[in-house]
Homo-oligomer: A and B are copies of this chain.
Amino acid sequence: MQSILNEKKRFLVINPNTGWEMTKQIEESLKGLKLDDVKLEVAANVAGPVSIEGHTDEIISSYHILKLIAERKTEYDGYLIACFSNHPSIKALRELTGKPVVGIAEGACYMAAMAGNLFGIVTTSQKWVPMLKEAVECFGIKDKCAGVFSTGLSVTELHELSGEEVEKEILNAGKKALAAGAEVLCLGCAGMSGLHKRIERELKVPVVDSCEAGLMMLYSLCHMGLWTSSLCMYAPNLPRETINLEKDMEQFYV
């Protein structure tokens, strides 16, 4: 397929954690979409925790994403943040690049909103329930969300446990979501990528793979020639005096 620019779009996909399995999993899930006019680069953070499970993790991983961006001089046509959350780096990259930047959570939520009446989110640990409810509110889509439902598994357990065990817990949480009025499910963790078809077969409702949804949304924005509005919320970072900033990051303030 021809892109508007008649050349391949370059997307940088960022896994905010440092987990090798998840990075591979994200890459496979995205490659599976076979968008052959897109050149995908999938990067993981080189420092930080192996999974994103809370607020401290979000700050540390966002900081390292800024470093990662600072170090890559090359231009990308768009950025995908592969963490199912309202990850702080999404807003920062919009501010710093002015390019389309999509988080897999918002992408999945908007996509799910078109695949049925209400969607439910299946997440990992209980702690993600309030975190994702707040995220959904910030995405402005809470009226279409029937709730967030925990599998009780930590992010890391998604890889430590057998596929059967993981699938079983996702099915249990998914059934709770359907009982609460959801008609579509979002798998609320990049670590669940690739499992959606099996869940669909069991529950007979559309199940949104968040990485796929995020990529298709980013692809759509770019294909339409859209970018991030820098009028106000995402106005460029102001040049300012800084102290003891890591070298690379100084460029954000000049």
Contact = CB atoms under 8 A, between A and B. Distances in A.
A178 B231 contact: yes
A216 B206 contact: no
A50 B88 contact: no
The oligomer's copy count stands at: 6
A244 to B, nearest CB: 4
A233 B144 CA distance: 13
A45 to B, nearest CB: 8
B54 A63 contact: no
Given A116-B234, A221-B115, A226-B111, A59 B53 contact: no
A26 to B, nearest CB: 15
Nearest to A58: B88
Contacts of A212: 224
A192 interface: no
A235 B54 contact: yes
A170 B131 CA distance: 28
B58 A60 contact: no
Contact of A233 (B117, B220, B226, B241): B117
A126 interface: yes
A55 B91 contact: yes
Nearest to A246: B47
Given A56-B92, A224-B208, A34 B232 contact: no
Interface residues of A, number: 101
A181 interface: yes
Interface string A113-131: 1111110000000110111
Contacts of A100: 114-115
Nearest to A200: B225
Given A141-B140, A227-B115, A238-B154, A95 B205 contact: no
Interface string A5-26: 0000000000000100000000
Interface of A: 1-2, 4, 18, 33-37, 46-51, 53-60, 62-63, 66, 88-89, 91-92, 94-96, 100, 102, 106-107, 110-111, 113-118, 126-127, 129-131, 134, 137-144, 154, 156, 178, 181, 183-184, 197, 204-206, 208-209, 212-213, 216-217, 219-221, 223-229, 231-235, 237-238, 240-245, 249, 252-253
